[in-house]
Every structure is written in C-alpha cells, then in structure tokens.
C-alpha cells in the first residue's frame, strides 16, 4: 500500500507509539497515509481506539514475525 510518511516505533511501549503517531500526523495534510511499524502487541487495540477517538482512519493492520504494521489516513 502507498504511504506518504513512515514512522518506526519498534521497541517502544504504550503510550509512546500513539504519542509519536499523533505528532507525525500533525505535519501531514488531510488524506495522506502514514505507515507505522510497531512491536508492542498492545498497539493493535491502541491504534483502533486512537482512530475512533481522533477521526483518523485506520486503513489496515497486520502482523508479521512479531512486528505490527498499520496504515492510517489523516482526517
């Protein structure tokens, strides 16, 4: 999937992945897509809740070999 910006939060635990995502989205324009790579298993639920609370769209999430990849579209 195409992304406009990538954020690597591997090795960070809650709440840092969400805080860094929020900071990255500030610099982006509406409709742009941010790819986030995380290793915290709690990030799956955290990003779903974050998307619901902020109105940013979680386009997809997947896991491969203990790494989680999220694609989020800025509102």
What's the chain's average pLDDT?
Answer: 97
* pLDDT reported for residue 16: 98
Question: Whole-model pTM?
Answer: 0.95
Length of the chain in residues, anyone? Answer: 75
* pLDDT reported for residue 1: 87
The pair phi, psi for residue 65, each rounded to 5°, is: 50, 45
Domain count for the chain, please give it: 1
3 is catalytic: no
Residue with tokens 């742009």: 32
* pLDDT reported for residue 74: 98
Q: Could you count the other beta carbons within 10 Å of the beta carbon of residue 21?
A: 23
CATH code of residue 54: 3.30.110.40
Give the active site residue among 3, 12, 14, 16: 14
* pLDDT reported for residue 18: 98
Question: Mean of the pLDDT values across residues 2-22?
Answer: 97
């Amino acid at each position: 999937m195409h992304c406009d910006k990538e954020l690597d939060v591997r090795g960070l635990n809650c709440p840092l992945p969400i805080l860094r995502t929020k900071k990255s989205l500030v610099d982006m324009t509406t409709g742009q897509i941010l790819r986030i790579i995380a290793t915290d298993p709690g990030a799956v639920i955290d990003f779903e809740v974050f998307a619901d609370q902020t109105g940013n769209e979680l386009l997809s999430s997947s896991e491969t070999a203990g790494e989680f990849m999220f694609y989020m579209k800025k509102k």
